[in-house]
Amino acid sequence: MVDSLRDVEADIQADLEDDGETPSEPLRDLVAALREDNPEGLRAVGRYDGDDHEILYLREDLEASLSDEEIQRRIKTFVLKGLADPRSDTELDDYGELNATLRWFDNAILAIYPTGEWSGIIATFERRRSPLVDAAFEYLDEF
């Protein structure tokens, strides 16, 4: 099964000790901040770099309910979504570089934060009320 958060944290700590880096590793800090800001709402956090990917956090109930194959299939789908939107688009140059994409589903929110042309961070959250999205749906439901 996928590593638990404790296993991931232990691996990160071991890597830090091996590399001589400081314990304020940005990805570990990101996971900690997301868990603190939204403890029951954070579902998963991962990173991708081309074909490589790593799960940084997977909530225990999801880890227990999804098979390894289902987890890998979802990761591949998320990575493809992340790679589909380039960081820069000549048609939108005046907007600057893409910092994030958010996808609201009925039961979850998928956030993709590109860090390079082929790399980024993916986080999924429980779908809660979102005034911006919910207000639009009130009007769009009539179409």
At a CB cut-off of 8 Å and minimum separation 6, what does 38 contact?
A: 125
* pTM (predicted TM-score): 0.73
- 5-140, which class in CATH? alpha beta
Beta bridge partners of 123: 45, 111
Q: Which two tokens stand for residue 60?
A: 């225990």
Question: CA 104 from chain center: how many Å?
Answer: 13
Residue type, 74: R
DSSP 36-99: HHSTTTEEEEEEEETTEEEEEEE-HHHHHHS-HHHHHHHHHHHHHHHHHS-S--GGGGGG-S--
Q: Are strands 119-126 and 101-104 parallel, antiparallel or unpaired?
A: unpaired
The 10s digit of each residue's pLDDT in 55-113 is 999 999 999 999 999 999 999 999 999 889 888 888 999 999 999 999 989 889 999 99
What crossing angle do the helices spanning 5-19 and 26-37 adopt, rounded to 10°?
A: 150
* C-alpha dist (Å) from residue 64 to 47, 67, 74: 21, 8, 15
4/39: higher pLDDT: 39
Residue 47 and residue 31 in contact, taking contact as beta carbons nearer than 8 Å: no
The 10s digit of each residue's pLDDT in 8-26 is 555 555 554 555 443 348 8
